[in-house]
Each structure stands twice: as structure tokens, then as C-alpha cells.
Copies of this chain bind each other. A is one copy, B any other.
């Protein structure tokens, strides 16, 4: 059986660490987010050579402090959760573990360049902020709009990559290695930089033909930047409309004086006392609001 009985102490810790209903749970989340951001800031500052020379020891000691703190938190999370396996192998559980390992590994192996990638796994802590963000209803609304648009955005990205490949090849032919378009992957990189309107300028067309074709590519990019925006906006507008529509459908007009009644629980008109019709939606919780009505 995966769900164990929790002792009262475990339940209490569980409510504070995983929950947000209690005041203690909210404070725990706020303190945790501050510590995560501080630990990420230390990793960033540590990478600056001049600061590392001066404050390297301090940074190392702080990193150990954060690591011990997060280790204790990780162990308590395992101890108090009702379903240990589910937590450990969840995305957030793996992130919690992975961002701890590098500091302990540094005890075993001297810190050398090849280990840089492993050490930077600590930066994964920033993902933990996502878990706390996801407690906000706004984040969930955005996430679900993105999710519903997922397939359309995939189609859109495929289209962008096809267009970038064609424009990249065209410019490779027109400009060639002499003008910085060394090979097709470089040219496709240039095309993506151009179509997304980033425009570094590290590779740029020099010939008149190349510039003319680039200009067409930019206008195409300019037009198709509209597509993902349209997709997301249509989703968000739709979601907003559903919420408002539901309110309106629940409103009723008095059959006698036409006054509007928005309270689902009212039985009589506030203005003339006539009995109101039954609200349209109230008795139908099974209507799938997520799909949208209007």
C-alpha cells in the first residue's frame, strides 16, 4: 500500500511544509522562497572571478549552510508525506534531491573544470520557486491556457523551423562562407535569430540579394509573431468570458418588472416581490466550465 497512516506530528509537519491553508504553512513558504533565492544568488555571485577571489570562503560556507538546511527540509518532507514513493519520484522531489547532490559530491572529488556542469545542478533550486508560484490561481489559469494551446503551438513551432530552414538555405546559397554564412546549421541559426526578431548582428547579409531575401524573411517573421499571440489571447479571452458568462447566465429578469437579480439564492424580486424563475445554471454543476460555454 502506498498511502501510510500519518502520525499527528507527521500530519502537522505535512500541513506546514506541503500545505498553504494554515498561517504557519504560508510563513514557511515565504521563508523558503527567500532562502532559495538567496542560495541561487550566492551560486551566481560565486561564478564572478573577482568576487570568488575575495569572498570564496564566505560563499563556500554559505553554500554549506544552505545545503544542510535544504537537506533537513528534504528529509522532513520524506518523513512527513503520506506517500513517500510519489514524492521522491515526482518532478519536484527529483529537483529537491538533484540540487543537493553537487555540494556533497564536492567532498569526494576535488573541484575541477569537468565538474562544472555537475556543480551547476545546484541552480535547479530555482525550479522550486515554480512549485510555490503554482499555488497562485493566476499561475494555474496561465498554465491551463498554455496547455490547451499546446498542440497549436507545436504546429506553429514546426512551421517556424521549416521556414527558418528554407530561409537559412537560401542565404547560405546567396551569401556563402565568405560572408559569415559558414554552413547550413549556421545559416539556420541566423534565420531563427532573424525570424524571432532577436537580431544579434553576429551574422548579417552583405550582398544586395541576401539583404532583399532577409527583408522578406523579417516581414514573414513579423507576421507570424502574431500567431502564438493570437493563440494565447484567444484562449485567455475565452477563459475570462466563460467566467463572466456564467455570472450572467445565473442572473434572471423579474417576469413582472424586468429587474435583474444576480443572486442565485434569491426567490423573490427585490423591487416588486414577484416570484423569480429558477436560475438557469445553479442546479447543473456538471457543466464543464473548463471547456468554455461562449
Contacts and interface: CB of A to CB of B under 8 A. Distances in A.
A106 interface: no
Q: Is the interface of A mostly helix, strand, loop or mixed?
A: helix
B232 A227 contact: yes
Interface string A145-185: 11000011111111110100110010011000100001111
Interface in A55-110: none
B232 A230 contact: yes
A196 B183 contact: no
Interface size class of A (residues with CB under 8 A): 35 or more
A95 B292 CA distance: 41
Nearest to A270: B284
B165 A126 contact: yes
B237 A244 contact: no
Number of chain copies forming the complex: 4
Contacts of A136: 151, 155
Interface string A122-157: 010011011001001011011001100001111111
Interface of A: 40, 43-45, 47-49, 116-117, 120, 123, 126-127, 129-130, 133, 136, 138-139, 141-142, 145-146, 151-160, 162, 165-166, 169, 172-173, 177, 182-186, 188-189, 192-194, 196-202, 204, 208, 211-212, 214-215, 218-219, 221-223, 225-241, 244-245, 247-249, 252-253, 257-260, 262, 271, 277-281, 283-284, 287, 292-294
